[in-house]
Amino acid sequence: MNIKTFTYLLLGAFFAIMVSISCNKDKDKDNNTPEDTLAQYLTYIPPSNQRIGDAQAGRDYLIYGNYIASGIPYSLVGALLPGDGNSLGRTGDNATLPPGFSAVDAINGVRVVAPNCLQCHGEYLNGQFVMGLGNNSADYTGNQSGLIAIADLLITNNFGQNSPQWQAYLPFRTSTLKLSQILKAEVRGINLANNVFAILAAYRNPDNFVWTDDPVMPVLEKMAPMDVPAWWHTKKKNALYCNGLGEGDFARLIMAANLLTVSDTAEARQVDSHFPDVVAYLQSLQPPPYPQTIDQTLAQQGKQLFTATCARCHGTYGDTETYPNLLVDLDLIKTDPLLAEGYFNEAAAYVNWHSQSWFINNPNAAHLVPKRGYMAPPLDGIWATAPYFHNGSVPTIADVLDSKNRPTYWKRTFDNTDYNYQKLGWNYTAETAGNAQTYNTTLEGYGNGGHTFADHLTPQERTALLEYLKTL
């Protein structure tokens, strides 16, 4: 492996590492449950106070800021990373870097290349980089710790271990190595961010964020696979994350990636002061429009079905936008329960850590409030965000709408142009067994059941509904 491939892999590895309504058993009743029966499973989530920010400043901070202020010396890898023609339009030494990395100053002033939020929150679709589209192609199945050993060697050979360069690399090295020893993705395409933050918390003192080699609480080992949500939903949501876990000050919630390398809460305070701007920027984002022609007559039929069957949970779109901010109880939604339930079980220690940490310092407290269910997400730009459900277990919207057709094992090419405009989602082949390249819905946390709300529709009605969903 040449040095260029290697360094790219190493940095990429970083976030890798980091990174029927049937309560009643009668299935036929599932989709026709009267409104009042539905209501008992739905909980409105009220808004919380947010700081005011500046969207343009937020974009700049996102792609130039040193909220992760540790990494590999720029002088070593800056010129080696293959850029993408500068799709972010960045200037200076950032112009040649791929979107998921930033050239930033470490705390001691050494210029380093560090990963940024776009490792997980930017993705290519049909060859175009889409800001805020969740990364759905990264492969975190391998063990990355060997790469750290090679980075060690490179930095030691070039600068020595008493150098400022080594100091600027150390926080990144310490946390990345720890994560690499614990994180385990079963299939390509899923993200383990929730585990990342729980692990980072376990090795940090909640009061001052100082790293400790002995964990301050049990380390979360049960992995909950995630599909990264689109950022353009943030403006509608009263609570963040698929289970509505994140309440209070959004800016402080979403600066959590800073836990990778933060040295203390003085640094965290400095980073926190920029995040209201980042929130403002996320709230300004629009989804990419559907790129092909839409049959408007069919879409109108679909709209009526949507209004009757789906809008109660997902809201309305177009001229009169509404979003009800509802948490849907697990007993009703019945999608994979591991993530939501985990916060009452294995991940409860993390919630507890958070509730004693700097994050809840007033006046801009961020709270983690576990809930037994999932939020009905906004569906803006839904055509672009395959695969579907919080764990990315369903490859197309057609399969979301027809639960019996969902593949147990499915494999996609991970070519971002290999898109199916009939089914809205990834082209895939159904397989008979799982492996690292094949999504395996039989694994714990990877289940594809539940959300059977369109099962009772005719194939023609589902086609109309799909046509309407293209317009959102």
Nearest CA-CA partner of 441 in 401, 388, 397: 388
Q: Please, how many CA atoms are within 13 Å of residue 176, restricted to the half-sphere of its CB? A: 29
Per-residue contact flags (x/-) with ligand HEC for residues 19 to 38, judged by CB under 6 A: x-------------------
**Residue 93 in tokens:** 């030494």
Report how far Cα 115 is from the mean position of its chain's Cα atoms: 15
Applying CB under 6 A, does 136 fall inside the site for ligand HEC?
A: no
Applying CB under 6 A, does 233 fall inside the site for ligand HEC?
A: yes
Report how far Cα 221 is from the mean position of its chain's Cα atoms: 19
Applying CB under 6 A, does 454 fall inside the site for ligand HEC?
A: yes
Select the span of 189-197, 343-351, 410-418, 430-438 touching ligand HEC (CB under 6 A).
189-197
Select the span of 47-55, 86-94, 159-167, 186-194 touching ligand HEC (CB under 6 A).
186-194
| Interface with ligand HEC (CB under 6 A), residue from 102, 385, 403, 441 | 385
Output the CA angle 394-454-47, nearest 5 degrees: 80
Applying CB under 6 A, does 382 fall inside the site for ligand HEC?
A: yes
Select the span of 83-91, 204-212, 254-262, 285-293 touching ligand HEC (CB under 6 A).
254-262
Instruction: Tell me whether residue 46 or residue 162 sits nearer to ligand HEC (CB atom).
Output: 46
Contact set for ligand HEC, span 423-452 (CB under 6 A): 451
Applying CB under 6 A, does 226 fall inside the site for ligand HEC?
A: yes
Say how far apart CA 347 and CA 245 lie, in whole Å: 12
Select the span of 13-21, 79-87, 210-218, 358-366 touching ligand HEC (CB under 6 A).
13-21
Judge contact between 361 and 255, C-beta under 8 A. no
Say how far apart CA 382 and CA 403 lie, in whole Å: 18
Select the span of 144-152, 198-206, 397-405, 432-440 touching ligand HEC (CB under 6 A).
397-405
Say how far apart CA 431 and CA 115 lie, in whole Å: 34
CA distances to 142, 436, 458 from 171, in Å: 22, 30, 56
Output the CA angle 393-117-371, nearest 5 degrees: 50
Instruction: Tell me whether residue 204 or residue 314 sits nearer to ligand HEC (CB atom).
Output: 314
Applying CB under 6 A, does 317 fall inside the site for ligand HEC?
A: no
Contact set for ligand HEC, span 280-309 (CB under 6 A): 282, 309
Match 């901010």 to its residue by tokens. 325
Burial of 322 (0-12, 13-18, 19+ CB in 10 A): exposed
Residue type, 372: R
Chain residues that interact with ligand HEC, rule: CB under 6 A = 15, 18-19, 67, 117, 119-121, 191, 193-194, 196, 226, 228-229, 231, 233-234, 237, 240-242, 254-255, 257, 278, 282, 309-310, 312-314, 328, 332-333, 335, 374, 376-377, 379, 382, 385, 388-390, 397, 400-401, 451, 453-454, 465
